Amino acid sequence: MSTGAKKRILREYAECQNDPLPGVKINFDEQNMTKWEILMDGPDQSVYAGGHYKLEINFPNEYPFKPPVVSFKTKIYHPNVSNDDKGSMCLGLLRPEEWKPPNKVISVLHLIRNLLIEPNPDDAIELSIANDYKTNRAEFDKTAKDWVKRYAK
């Protein structure tokens, strides 16, 4: 990873610290700055309220020319987060073909947080959860809250 990229990551971390998102904490390790650990609270207005989610943001060597990789370490019932041990999330600006260098981690964090508030079932990884969300919202809410209790406390 180039020094330019490292510099940029440092800058971005500083920016995130200066302008913190509500309920978002970043564990930053200067020794390994390409891997951020994020602690995100389920937004109050969402079904994930009360949940505490651990995420990882990994910066590829090509950053900022390639998007960072986001993964949920805490299990979450969400159409846009893969329901496996990876907990991967790949949509919107995180898509390799959508990513552009001026995008910033803080926009990524915004994206994640907004997706918790409002999932995007049309760009889902988990089709059945998306279907649940679209056609049986009550059931979706119930399961999601159940998972919050079970996995995200």
Partner 1 sequence: MSQPATESQPPPAQPSGHRDMMFCHECHDEWYRDEHGLTCPECGSDFTEIIEEGNDPRDQHMLDHDHDMDDDSSLPDLEAISPAMRPLFAAMHANQSPHQHDHTHDDPEEPDISSLQFRQVGPGRFSVTGTVFRTVSPPGGGGPPQAARAPNAGSGPFGGLTAILTNLIHGGIAGPQNPTQPAQGSQDHQPGQGGQMDEGAGSQPQAGVPGGAPQVHRFTYTAGARLAPRDPNNPGPRLEPVDELNNVLVGLMAAFGEPPDHHHHEHFHGPPPPINPLIQLFAQMLPGSGQFGDAVYSQEALDRIITQLMEQNASSNAPGPASQKDIDSLPRRKVGVEDLGSEGHAECSICMDEVNVGEEVAELPCHHWFHHACIAAWLGEHDTCPHCRKGITKKNDAPANENSRNQAGSGEGAQASTSIPSMPGAFVTGEGSSENPYVISGSPPAHPHNEDGSGNNGSTTRTDAAGAEDSSAGGGIGERLRRGLFGPPR
Catalytic residue among 33, 90, 93, 117: 90
| Nearer to partner 1 among residue 26 and residue 69 (C-beta) | 69
90 included as an active-site residue: yes
In this structure, the strands spanning 69-72 and 88-89 are antiparallel
Q: Which of 38, 69, 76, 152 binds partner 1 (CB under 8 A)?
A: 69
* DSSP code of residue 49: T
- Return the sign of the alpha-carbon dihedral for residues 38, 117, 74, 34: negative
Q: Does 90 bind partner 1 (CB under 8 A)?
A: yes
Q: Which stretch binds partner 1 (CB under 8 A): 4-12, 24-32, 41-49, 137-145?
A: 4-12
Judged by CB under 8 A, the chain residues 93 through 152 that form the site for partner 1 are 93-98, 100-104, 106-108, 110-111, 113-115, 118, 120, 122-123, 125-128
Give how far the C-alpha of residue 89 lies from the chain's centroid of Cα atoms, to the nearest Å: 7
Question: At 54, which helix (H) or strand (E)?
Answer: strand 52-58
Compute the distance between CA of residue 34 and CA of residue 127 in angstroms, rounded to an integer: 31
Q: Does 85 bind partner 1 (CB under 8 A)?
A: yes
Q: Extract the runs of DSSP E, i.e. beta strands, from the chain.
A: 24-27, 35-41, 52-58, 69-72, 88-89
| Amino acid in the structure at residue 144 | A
Q: Does 80 bind partner 1 (CB under 8 A)?
A: yes
Residues that bind partner 1 (CB under 8 A): 4, 7-8, 11-12, 64-65, 69, 80, 82-86, 88, 90-98, 100-104, 106-108, 110-111, 113-115, 118, 120, 122-123, 125-128
